[in-house]
Amino acid sequence: MAEQVLIRQGAEARVYKTTMPDGRVAVAKQRFSKSYRHPDLDAKLTRGRLNQEARSLKRCKEHGICVPEVIRVDKSSATLFIEFIHGPTLKEWIVANGNPDQENELMATVGRILHQMHSFDVIHGDLTTSNMILDSSNQLVLIDFGLSQISSSAEDKAVDLYVLERAFISTHPNSERLFATVLEAYSVSEAARLILRRLEDVRQRGRKRDMSG
């Protein structure tokens, strides 16, 4: 294995850029142990999250949703090797872009992709504009499924959207129009419209929490 270059260290994993033996550039996401947990429980949780991330990515790939390809799952080192996606994040693109028509078109693409992902019961768990990349073909690719789960619950899907809405609010000032376009493109089925009604309930709970401190 080639030398690994640390890209990011989060609360759950270290993310490296590396090269596989066949020459492919890849991301190696290595989950690390938590010393405050019992070793057996820690190993079980780490293995479970590793396997779930790989399952979510594979399910998305099977249904034509643009995500990185899973190359290898190394359970002994709790490392997931996935395809490296080169390109700006959606966050970077929004900051650099000044064309409202292009923004609307891309936000509609986000909404359609999220509707498709949710229709196959994949919950991303950490939707932000930093976890979406525009690749070299100008396709929008969802990344970082480390908190993902498989669920048919409208509540879970609504919370997924709420997390993205909060990310827009905190990262992109005056972005209400952008997120409204995402939701408009998302709401193409009765199931989706039910999820959006549930989203309003989630918002109300969020506002109550904000008011109570």
Q: Per-residue confidence of the chain (213 residues) as pLDDT tens digits?
A: 567 899 988 878 999 999 999 999 999 999 988 877 888 888 898 999 999 999 999 999 999 999 999 999 999 999 999 999 999 999 999 999 879 999 999 999 999 999 999 999 999 999 999 999 999 999 999 999 999 999 999 999 999 999 999 999 999 988 999 999 999 999 999 999 999 999 999 999 987 776 655
Catalytic residues: 126
For 37, the token pair is: 């947990």
The pLDDT, as a whole number, for residue 39 is 83
- The number of C-alpha atoms within 13 Å of 43 and in the hemisphere containing its C-beta is 5
Show me where the domains of the chain are located.
5-83, 90-212
Residue 55 CB: number of other CB atoms within 10 A?
Answer: 17
The pLDDT, as a whole number, for residue 142 is 98
Residues 160 and 123 sit within 8 Å (Cβ to Cβ): yes
CATH architecture of the domain 5-83 equals 2-Layer Sandwich (3.30)
pTM, rounded to two decimals: 0.92
Q: What is the CATH number of domain 90-212?
A: 1.10.510.10
How many whole angstroms separate alpha carbon 44 and alpha carbon 1? 27
Q: Are both 5-83 and 90-212 of the same fold?
A: no
Query: What residues have CB less than 8 Å from 2, skipping those under 6 apart?
Result: 18, 19, 20
The pLDDT, as a whole number, for residue 211 is 63
> What's the Cα-to-Cα distance from 156 to each of 118, 150, 160, 202, rounded to whole Å?
10, 10, 6, 10
